[in-house]
Amino acid sequence: MGIISILLIAVGLAMDSLAVSISGGIVMRPFCMRQSLRLALTMGIFQGGMTLLGWLMGVSFSSYITAFDHWIAFILLGFLGGKMIYESFGEEETTISSFSTKTLLTLGVATSIDALAVGVSMAFLKTSIYFPAFIIGFVTFALSLIGVISGYRFRKIKGINVELFGGIILIAIGVKILIEHLME
C-alpha cells in the first residue's frame, strides 16, 4: 500500500475525530492548549491503536465487527450528543476547560470503530500495519488539534447556542456512520 493511499485513508478516518474536536473546541471555556492536546492525542491514539487492533484481530473476527460497528458508534455518539443538547438548555456553566477522561475515552472509541474495520481490511491485504497505523494516528492528531482550535474560535459568534450545536454535530456523525453502513 502506497503512502498516498495511506494518507487518504488517514484523512478519511480522521473526519469523525475532526468533527468531534470542533465540538470540543466549541464548548471549551477558556481555551487551554494542554486540554486541546489531550483531546487531539486521545483521538490520534485511538485511531492508530484501533487500526492496529483491527489488524491483529485479522480475518477471523471481521464478520463480527462489521456486523455491528456502526450501531456502537451511533449509540455512543447519539448518547454524548443528546447529553450535550440536554445540557445546552440548562444553566450556563462558567468554565468548561476539558472533557473528562471518561468522555474522552468514549469519544475515542466511538470515532475509531471504523479504524478497527480498516485494520481488519489491511490484514486481508497482507499490509504491514505499523507505518499505516502511525500515519493514521498522526493525521488524526493533527486534524483534531486544528479542529479544537477552529471550534473554539467559531464559538465566539454571538447568538449561537454552542453546546446545542456541538451536540447536533455528534448526533449527525452517529447518523452518518449508521446510514453509510446500512446503505452498503
The string of DSSP letters for 26-52 reads HH-BS--HHHHHHHHHHHHHHHHHHHH
pLDDT at 166: 67
The pLDDT, as a whole number, for residue 164 is 73
C-alpha cell at 59: 480475518
Residue 112 has pLDDT above 70, yes or no: yes
DSSP lists the bridge partners of residue 9 as none
| Number of residues in the chain | 184
Q: Is the pLDDT of residue 151 over 50?
A: yes
Position with higher pLDDT, 94 vs 7: 7
pLDDT band at 93 (very low <50, low <70, confident <90, very high): very low
Split at pLDDT 50, 70, 90, the class of 53 is: very high
Q: What is the pLDDT of residue 94?
A: 33
pLDDT higher than threshold 80 for residue 161: no
pTM recorded for the entire structure: 0.73
